[in-house]
Structure 1
């Protein structure tokens, strides 16, 4: 049983690494492995915690990177909303017809 347990943990370890490649959080990884690989979240969480202990510096950098990426995403969404709002209300000199073509208005 010991050998099969070790290979199972090795599999979970490998799958966690795949989740990290896709920039998933621990929670996202637990949910994904539960849903797609039928691995209990407690197993994923336990292996993840052990990996964090063994690779503390990597996981600190990984967490910071994810947080920075999240901040960048929020910033990009705000910029996109601002640009959308500006195009909808800021310039009334052009209108868009049903085909999506712009035309100048005669003000």
Structure 2
């Protein structure tokens, strides 16, 4: 039974790490759920559950993250076309 709970904890830790990678790429929860389902074969419900727990533990971070994502979406894409 001990190894079962440690493998579950390792799995959740891996999902958390992959979610953090999605955040580095400025992905929404939905985009992250889709990416992990497609590329890591992780069920969206698992990704969503771990994401929600991370939001609870890091409320201020996720509020700021969502705000930054909103600001980026509302800005025109002119910075990319100037290169």
TM-score (norm 1): 0.69
Match of 1:43 in 2: 46
Tell which has more relative contact order, 1 or 2 (C-alpha 8 A, sep 6+). 2
The CA RMSD measured in Å over matched residues stands at 1.1
Instruction: Provide the rounded CA distance (Å) in 1 between the counterparts of 2:15 and 2:71.
Output: 27
Q: Deviations over 1:6-49 (max 9, x none)?
A: 00000000000000000000000000000000000000000000
Number of aligned residue pairs: give it: 76
Instruction: Provide the rounded CA distance (Å) in 2 between the counterparts of 1:76 and 1:11.
Output: 34
- Unaligned stretches of 5+ residues in structure 2: none
What stretches of structure 1 move > 6 A for 4+ residues in a row? none
Query: Which structure carries more helix by proportion?
Result: 2
Query: Which structure carries more strand by proportion?
Result: 1
- Unaligned stretches of 5+ residues in structure 1: 81-107
- How far off is 1:76 after superposition? 2.8
